[in-house]
């Protein structure tokens, strides 16, 4: 079997890997994109139906700027592919308590970088969003230009456009590299086929710790996350945009989306769940998570108190110790890049991250210290929301 050669091989065709491969190709590199199960497969953290794209990150201006850069590039890609519906402009509403620092910092950052927002009083929240129940000391910060990316189809569209630009894409399970030299020369698929390249980017999400156990087993944290879709009352427009936005309430550790494409109202608990193996974890929802979601909906959406569950999703987050991305070279192999740690907030950043990684791989641009392997610890202490 003939060996094939590329400038860069990207392993993992989720949102990070897909945009990285596309960005590398646009920079002139020959690129192979590999994934064991295929782009945006049902096991992947990128494989869900929908993901939020928001600008707000508290005082973390770097992520705000990355989001502001990413949204027009998502929209441009969708327009070019004839799929504008893959961005849903729902607006994103932060529901905050008086004095809530994260949201106050978000408002200050958005103002500083020139991102449009509205501050809403409790009375305005009640008037605009009549299907939602608000605490008496709540206020709102609305990002009117933000919304939802239709995730699974969005990633598949990125891969389609990457292939049109010349990226080769294959389904192949990669064997764990044997670390015997300062540069990786080749990787071997489960089929026995060998691929060689000058550079390798492992953007494998929850599989990073399994591929590089000595380096990442205790620095990448895959956690079980369960999502529920509640059926809306027939003929009731209050649960679809603009009567209902995408929303986040940090104090509750819940977020949700309106009824998009008639699939129901999405409710998700943002607290990190139990550690899981992405290959083998059960994708059936648990009774405990279902009860928690139903209780929350009964309190925050009274008209959905007895609503049926019309869909469920069980996936996984894949995070570093603090929530910052991992974008760095492997400590023993100078041409191997480790890219991950994006779950829970990373999907939206795909275009920005792809450009960032391509510049490091091809142009040797420096890595921001907060993305370095050295800053990733073995104990979780979430700092990015």
Query: What residue segments make up the domains of the chain, in order of their start?
Result: 4-47+152-220+321-375, 89-147+221-315
190 Cβ contact list (under 8 Å, min separation 6): 172, 173, 174, 175
Q: DSSP states of 120-189 as a string?
A: E-HHHHHHH-TTS---TTEEEEEETT-EEE-HHHHHHHHHHHHHHHT-EEEE-PBPPPP--SSS--EEEB
Other beta carbons within 10 angstroms of residue 242's beta carbon come to 13
Q: In which residue ranges of the chain is pLDDT below 70? A: 1-3
The confidence score (pLDDT) of residue 52 equals: 98
The confidence score (pLDDT) of residue 177 equals: 77
The confidence score (pLDDT) of residue 3 equals: 58
Assess whether the previous peptide bond of 242 is cis (omega < 30° from 0): yes
Helix/strand/coil for 281: coil
Under a CB-based contact definition with an 8 Å cutoff, are residues 337 and 330 in contact? Answer: yes
Radius of gyration of the chain, Cα coordinates, nearest whole angstrom: 21
Under a CB-based contact definition with an 8 Å cutoff, are residues 195 and 1 in contact? Answer: no
The confidence score (pLDDT) of residue 1 equals: 45
Which CATH class, in words, describes the domain spanning 89-147+221-315? Answer: alpha beta
pLDDT in tens, 55-107: 999 999 999 999 999 999 999 999 999 999 999 999 999 999 999 999 999 99
Helix segments in the chain, DSSP class H: 15-26, 61-81, 101-113, 122-128, 151-165, 208-211, 213-216, 287-300, 350-363
Residues in the chain: 385
Task: Tell me which H or E stretch contains 277.
Answer: none
The confidence score (pLDDT) of residue 175 equals: 85
User: How would you classify the pairing of strands 92-97 and 147-149?
Assistant: unpaired
> What are the beta bridge partners of residue 256?
247, 267
The confidence score (pLDDT) of residue 337 equals: 98
> What are the beta bridge partners of residue 338?
202, 328
Other beta carbons within 10 angstroms of residue 210's beta carbon come to 16
325 Cβ contact list (under 8 Å, min separation 6): 339, 340, 341, 342, 346, 349, 353, 371
Q: Which fold has domain 4-47+152-220+321-375?
A: FAD/NAD(P)-binding domain (3.50.50)
Report the half-sphere exposure of 291 (CA within 13 A, side-chain side).
3
Tokens of 45: 């953290």
Sheet holding 309-319, edge to edge: 118-120, 138-143, 92-97, 246-249, 254-257, 265-269, 221-230, 309-319
Q: What is this structure's pTM?
A: 0.97
> What are the beta bridge partners of residue 336?
200
Only one residue has tokens 């504008």, namely 84
Tokens of 12: 């993992």
User: How would you classify the pairing of strands 147-149 and 265-269?
Assistant: unpaired
Cα torsion 355, 359, 361, 362 to 10°: value is 120
pLDDT in tens, 277-328: 999 999 999 999 999 999 999 999 999 999 999 999 999 999 999 999 999 9
The confidence score (pLDDT) of residue 325 equals: 98
Nearest one of 337, 357, 348, 347 to 23, comparing CA atoms: 357
Backbone φ and ψ for 382, nearest 5 degrees, come out as -65, 130
Instruction: Give the separation between CA 183 and CA 181, rounded to whole angstroms.
Output: 5
């Amino acid at each position: 079997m003939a060996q094939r050669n590329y400038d860069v091989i990207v392993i993992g065709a989720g949102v990070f890997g897909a945009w990285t491969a596309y960005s590398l190709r646009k920079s002139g590199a020959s690129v192979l994109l590999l994934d064991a199960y295929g782009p945006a497969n049902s096991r992947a953290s990128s494989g869900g139906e929908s993901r939020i794209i928001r600008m707000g990150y508290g005082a973390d201006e770097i992520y705000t700027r990355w989001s502001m850069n990413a949204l027009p590039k998502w929209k441009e890609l969708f327009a070019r592919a004839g799929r504008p519906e893959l961005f849903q402009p729902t607006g994103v509403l932060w529901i905050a308590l008086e004095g809530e620092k994260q949201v106050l910092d978000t408002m200050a950052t958005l103002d500083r970088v020139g991102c449009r927002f509205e501050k809403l009083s409790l009375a305005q929240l009640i008037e605009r969003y009549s299907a939602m129940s608000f605490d008496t000391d709540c206020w709102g910060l609305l990002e009117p230009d933000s919304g939802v990316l239709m995730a699974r189809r969005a990633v598949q569209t990125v891969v389609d456009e990457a292939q049109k630009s010349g990226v080769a894409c294959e389904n192949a399970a990669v064997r764990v590299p044997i670390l015997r030299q300062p540069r990786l020369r080749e990787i071997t698929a489960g089929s026995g086929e060998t691929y060689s390249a000058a550079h390798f980017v492992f953007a494998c999400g929850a599989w990073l710790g399994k591929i590089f156990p000595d380096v990442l087993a205790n620095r990448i944290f895959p956690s079980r996350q369960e999502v529920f879709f509640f059926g809306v009352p027939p003929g009731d427009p209050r649960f679809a945009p603009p009567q209902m936005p995408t929303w986040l309430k940090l104090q509750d550790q819940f977020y949700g989306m309106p009824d998009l494409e008639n699939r129901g109202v999405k409710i998700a608990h943002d607290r990190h769940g139990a550690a899981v193996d992405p290959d083998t974890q059960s994708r059936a929802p648990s009774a405990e998570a279902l009860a928690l979601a139903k209780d929350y909906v009964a309190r925050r959406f009274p008209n959905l108190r007895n609503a049926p569950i019309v869909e469920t999703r069980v996936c996984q987050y894949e995070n570093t110790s603090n929530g910052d991305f991992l974008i760095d070279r492997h400590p023993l192999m100078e041409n191997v890049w480790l890219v991950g740690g994006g779950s829970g907030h990373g999907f939206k950043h795909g275009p920005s991250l792809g450009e960032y990684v391509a510049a490091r791989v091809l142009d040797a641009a420096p890595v921001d210290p907060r993305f370095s392997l050295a800053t990733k610890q073995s104990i979780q202490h979430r700092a990015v929301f």
